[in-house]
Amino acid sequence: MRLPDRVALITGGGTGIGRAIAEIFAKEGARIAVTGRRKAVLEETVEAIRQAGGEGIAIQGDVSQIADAERMVRTTMERYGQLDILVNNAGVIVRNASVTSVAIEDWDRVLNINLRGVFLVSRFALQEMVKARRGSIINISSTSGLFGDFGFAPYNASKGGLNLLTKNMALDYARYGIRVNAICPSLVATPMPRTRLKPGEDFEQAVQEWGKNFPLGRVGRPEDVAYAALYLASDEASWVTGIELVLDGGITASHPPSSGTWPRLTEHSGSALDL
């Protein structure tokens, strides 16, 4: 067990990367609270945790709403009496969104969830962690927080902001024994990249094609991110704070990235930049 006697709150824990983190943390001994807007998927995660012998609760809510963010932390504290790990994983994306083409409502929505949401949930969680003089916060950022993508204006801005918010929190709360780190994955096969599909395109087939652009020959799996989060959450990372841990199958090791079917280079040329 790498997370014995720990309690973890995982935002966006009903699907994709968040669900993998919830299930793997639970197997490693943590008691889990998952949050998100859709109750049904949260309950599926909790059921999977229970089936595997773990303990979990679902807290429905929207990270961008102050009252919901406060309630996520309060409910976790009421249920378990402690909060040791916060994974800020909830996030959304809009594509074909340059500064001139993005709807202002979409800009606000992405920034409100991906950046303000992290700020809000962290604000309430940190109040508990400061009292306990320990904690680990893991922000699921993106390689889109490190490099620009065509047509990703709000997503790039939100994840770039998240990377520096991570460093700020690492500095401000190190004195309380709280570590704050970011994970920056490239393309991971979850519901999120389904929005990349062209009409009629099969997801599994597209994942195979996209994978050819990665030096390691495949896109990421939710578990790849979950095991990195497990390391950062555990005592094994007790000297690690303020980092951006890049998980990308090697794609950012080359500059420029390999060409071909990599969607970043092909998908957005044209419409995103239409004025």
Ligand X SMILES: NC(=O)c1ccc[n+]([C@@H]2O[C@H](COP(=O)([O-])OP(=O)(O)OC[C@H]3O[C@@H](n4cnc5c(N)ncnc54)[C@H](OP(=O)(O)O)[C@@H]3O)[C@@H](O)[C@H]2O)c1
List the catalytic residues.
155
Question: Which of 2, 27, 37, 221 touches ligand X (CB under 6 A)?
Answer: 37
Q: Is 89 in the site for ligand X (CB under 6 A)?
A: yes
User: Which of 77, 246 has the CB closer to ligand X?
Assistant: 246
Q: Is 142 in the site for ligand X (CB under 6 A)?
A: yes
Q: Which region, judged by CB under 6 A, interacts with ligand X, from 62-70, 73-81, 125-133, 260-268?
A: 62-70
Question: Which of 26, 36, 115, 249 touches ligand X (CB under 6 A)?
Answer: 36
Q: Which region, judged by CB under 6 A, interacts with ligand X, from 130-138, 163-171, 189-197, 231-239?
A: 189-197
User: Which of 114, 136 has the CB closer to ligand X?
Assistant: 114
- What minimum distance in Å lies between the beta carbon of 92 and ligand X? 5
The full 3-state SS of the chain, as one line of letters, equals CCCCCCEEEEECCCCHHHHHHHHHHHHCCCEEEEEECCHHHHHHHHHHHHHCCCCEEEEECCCCCHHHHHHHHHHHHHHHCCCCEEEECCCCCCCCECCCCCCHHHHHHHHHHHHHHHHHHHHHHHHHHHHHCCEEEEEECCHHHCCCCCCEHHHHHHHHHHHHHHHHHHHHHHHHCEEEEEEEECCECCCHHHHHCCCCCCHHHHHHHHHCCCCCCCCECHHHHHHHHHHHHCHHHCCCCCCEEEECCCHHHCCCCCCCCCHHHHCCCCHHHCC
Q: Is 72 in the site for ligand X (CB under 6 A)?
A: no
Residues 97-136 that bind ligand X (CB under 6 A): 113, 117
- What minimum distance in Å lies between the beta carbon of 200 and ligand X? 21
Question: Which of 77, 92, 126, 246 touches ligand X (CB under 6 A)?
Answer: 92
**Residues binding ligand X: what is the number (CB under 6 A)?**
30
User: Which of 4, 191 has the CB closer to ligand X?
Assistant: 191
